Amino acid sequence: MTDSASQTGDGADSPRIVPVGDSAVLIEFGSGITVDLNTQVYSLADRIDSIANPAVTELVPTYRSLLVHYNPLEARYGEMVKLLSELIASSGDTGMSETTVAQNVVELPVVYGGEDGPDLGFVAEHAELSPEEVVAIHSGVGYRVYMIGFAPGFPYLGGLDERIACPRLKTPRISVPAGSVGIAEAQTGVYPNASPGGWQIIGRTAIPLFDVKKASPSLITPGAEVRFVPVDSHD
Amino acid sequence: MTDLMPEPGRQIRVVTPGLLCTVQDRGRTGFQSLGVSVSGAADIDSLEIANRLVGNEPDEAGLEITLGGAEMEFSHTTEFAVAGAETGATLDGVPLARNIRYMAHAGAHLIFGLAPTGLRVYLAIAGGVDTPGVLGSRSTHVASGLGGLDGKALSAGDSINIGVLFGIHAEGPFHEIRDTDDPDGGPLVDHGDIEIRVIMGPQEAEFTSAGLQTFLHTGYVVSDQSNRQGLRLDGETIESKSGRYDIVSDAVAAGSIQVPGDGKPIVLLADRQTTGGYAKIAAVVSVDLPKLGQARPGTTLRFSVVSIEEAQELLAERADRMSAIRPRSLVDKIVLRVDGNEVSVGVTERDGNGSSQTVKIAEIDGATYPITVQELPPLSRPALLESAVVF
């Protein structure tokens, strides 16, 4: 894929617009996991937000597609496709590109290992590294929030170093504490709330990640960058 | 979600919750991009009908009871209505009909039997259920602990605050809605085959044409592994082109039909997660979602394709039908004067499951009470008016 400015709305690179039932439209930019595709998703979401069309009820961005929920009593499918096609085609005119998508950085202090990260030793063994090396690799980069799903505030993060990828637990835990930081295959993530889980838990943050009393309940938002910062204690 | 007028102590107490009793409204929308499930009533039509009957806003919260088998006690004189699956509900032993607004006296007990057909019964209370709103909704999502009473299903002994309606009373003595014979939106409570209309996609291209034929031309049986999150279906395996069924995770909608690795479809319902990693062959049209909320294990679903234009037209018709809910008068009644008050006692007929049933009610000061009328032997006729009406 080239950058979004080269898209005309009907070229070979134009996204696929398809219905999902009678009250949602899916705009699919591609089928892979790349920063470029994901940036196009958030860029379009921003443009739809900016026009504040009353028929649009909710936007759900994911790795490589945007689901637009709408009220068919306000606008029928044909009108929605027309509106969305125009917004997609206008991306070049508005100068929107990946650089204009705000990159919100969230730093999470993490206590690695011990009670907070019971699987750090296993992950280190699997990687044939020391636990300290695993921590240095895991905390050494920023992770893009491709999307949020599975549970309230649960981020799907991209960019885990392949050296510390690790299979899931053979038997999932009945309850993983809130704030637990884990690895599953080539993914890393953090559990906002206590929940059952099969990820290898290498650490924990004490920062509350999801609070329904806040107007913006999730500390981590779609499109943001997450950095894990090693700390010795939660104080 | 509307703000309700609370009145201290005005409550409904759960004596027995049945299998699963939760507070539900139309659902928690607006936060799916943060992974917050929508939840809400599994049969949104029945909740809306019950709400409209008691004069509530259509999106007010009520109680959803799976299979019935629950008992509630009213602390105050309260108007209520029951809709959805037929459970043979009674108020202090007096049989109730669905889709009629009734008055319960303080201390009255509302008992739901077990539904022989259909799956979920709804209770709307005039003034609404006043549990705390969370992210704009009172709906309970048990998996993430949001909404309802502390994010949980209701238990025996729980008391729920209810609101008060000021000056907004449903018109007329009571309302009646046909409950089974409307193929386009009335809650379908039959146990058997039901037709479910779908719009194909968005990943139908992942499946072979033989797989698509299998999906559309063989029936799928609702398994007992189903819940508010989704219906797991048993039936023929749907063939995918690659032999794989997973995709890069994307967003799902109510009624999305995903096909996991075993090739058996799952229809996503109210408590679905917001994203999923299985290919979605089709999505159920909005007006058929309430049927899925009433489809109990053993029900056979038969999928057919409609155009999106037709689906949206059906949705517009549904909105008209809901907003056109109007009162219907008693078919037969006698009017008595008791202590200067006019009291109407009468019967009406309602359609249900193909047979017509008689419902007996009394109306005092505009409120409708369920009553039983004793059949007295012919010789006692002169005494009828003094003794026959039992509240």
The arithmetic mean of pLDDT across residues A117-137, rounded, is: 97
Coil, strand or helix: which one is B280? strand
DSSP conformation class of A125: H
The residue with greater pLDDT, A6 or B306, is B306
* B44, B290 contact by CB (below 8 A): yes
Chain B residues with CB under 8 Å of A73 CB are 315-316, 319
The answer as to CATH 2.40.100.10 being correct for domain B193-323 is yes
Record the tokens describing residue B106, joined without a space: 């303080």
Kindly report the average pLDDT of chain B as a whole number.
Answer: 85
Question: Token match 């950095």: residue?
Answer: A227
Tell me, rounded to whole angstroms, the distance of Cα A13 from its chain centroid.
23
Mind listing the pLDDT tens digit for each residue in A178-212? 999 999 988 899 999 888 888 999 999 999 999 99
- Using a CB–CB cut-off of 8 Å, the residues of A that contact B are 18-24, 26, 28, 31-33, 57-65, 67, 69, 72-73, 76-77, 147-154, 156, 193, 210, 212, 217-218, 221-222
Instruction: Mark yes or no for CB contact B199/A19 under 8 Å.
Output: yes
The arithmetic mean of pLDDT across residues A90-102, rounded, is: 52
The residue with greater pLDDT, B349 or B295, is B295
Which residues of chain B form CATH 2.40.100.10? 193-323
Instruction: Mark yes or no for CB contact B32/A212 under 8 Å.
Output: no
Residue B142, min C-alpha distance to chain A (Å): 12
Domain boundaries, chain A: 4-99, 105-230
Confidence (pLDDT) at A10: 38
Q: CA-CA distances (angstroms) from residue B290 to A19, B69, B121, B248, B337?
A: 20, 21, 12, 29, 44
Confidence (pLDDT) at A102: 54
* B49, B6 contact by CB (below 8 A): no
The arithmetic mean of pLDDT across residues B155-184, rounded, is: 60
The answer as to CATH 3.20.20.70 being correct for domain A4-99 is no
Confidence (pLDDT) at A14: 86
Instruction: Mark yes or no for CB contact B36/A152 under 8 Å.
Output: yes
Pick the closest to residue B159 from B137, B136, B130 (CA basis). B130
Confidence (pLDDT) at B358: 64
CATH number of this structure's domain A105-230: 2.40.100.10
Confidence (pLDDT) at B122: 97
Mind listing the pLDDT tens digit for each residue in B43-82? 999 999 999 888 898 999 999 999 999 999 999 989 899 9
The H or E element containing residue A46 is helix A35-51
Mind listing the pLDDT tens digit for each residue in A10-27? 334 689 999 999 999 999
Domains A4-99 and A105-230 share a fold: no
Residue B248, min C-alpha distance to chain A (Å): 7
- The overall longest dimension of chain B from CA atoms, in Å, is 81
Instruction: Write the DSSP assignment of B181-201 as a string of letters.
Output: S-TTTSPP--SSEEEEEEEE-
- The percent of residues in chain B predicted with pLDDT above 70, rounded, is 83
The arithmetic mean of pLDDT across residues B186-201, rounded, is: 76
Q: What's the rounded Cα separation, in Å, for the pair A14 and B179?
A: 47
Q: What is the pTM of this model?
A: 0.87
Confidence (pLDDT) at A100: 44
Chain B residues with CB under 8 Å of A76 CB are 309, 312
Mind listing the pLDDT tens digit for each residue in B137-154? 999 999 999 999 999 999
User: Does residue B181 surpass a pLDDT of 80?
Assistant: no
Instruction: Mark yes or no for CB contact B199/A222 under 8 Å.
Output: no
Task: Specify which residues B80 forms β-bridges with.
Answer: B102, B125
Backbone angles phi, psi at B294, to 5 degrees: -105, 5
| Angle CA B113–B370–B190, to nearest 5 | 40
Confidence (pLDDT) at B325: 72
* A21, B199 contact by CB (below 8 A): yes
Mind listing the pLDDT tens digit for each residue in B79-105? 899 999 999 999 999 988 888 888 899
* A198, A119 contact by CB (below 8 A): no
Residue B276, min C-alpha distance to chain A (Å): 8
Residue A153: closest C-alpha in chain B: B34
Cis geometry, peptide bond prior to residue B202 (ω within 30 degrees of 0): yes
